[in-house]
Amino acid sequence: MAERRVTVGWAEGLHARPASIFVRAATAAGVPVTIAKADGAPVNAASMLAVLGLGAKGGEEIVLASESDDAEAALDRLAKLVSEGLDELPETV
């Protein structure tokens, strides 16, 4: 299983607009990805309700994971999006 531990870079955390940006990116990743708080149960990263339900705040550590063989690049892109609090995921990342 591939995994990335990352600190949430959005000041407001994964709430509303940032969660929407993240979920769209996770859906577009092409591999199943889960997200969890560092000490919590993983949820589907492509589910808006599940991501909002985490209640991840800015500065908190989250864990992105996937059991897919080709998940490394997708997790790298999602980790960059979350850690830098980007408004969208650049195509070149």
Please tell me which residue in 2, 5, 8, 15 is annotated as part of the active site.
15
Q: Which domains does the chain have, with CATH numbers?
A: 2-84 (3.30.1340.10)
Q: How does pLDDT run across 35-85, given as a tens digit for each residue?
A: 999 889 999 999 999 999 999 999 999 999 999 998 999 999 999 999 999
| Angle (nearest 5°) at CA 29 between 27 and 32 | 70
| Angle (nearest 5°) at CA 39 between 35 and 41 | 50
User: Per-residue pLDDT for 91 more than 70?
Assistant: no
15 is catalytic: yes
Q: Which helix (H) or strand (E) holds 65?
A: strand 61-66
Instruction: Give the residue with greater pLDDT, 93 vs 71.
Output: 71
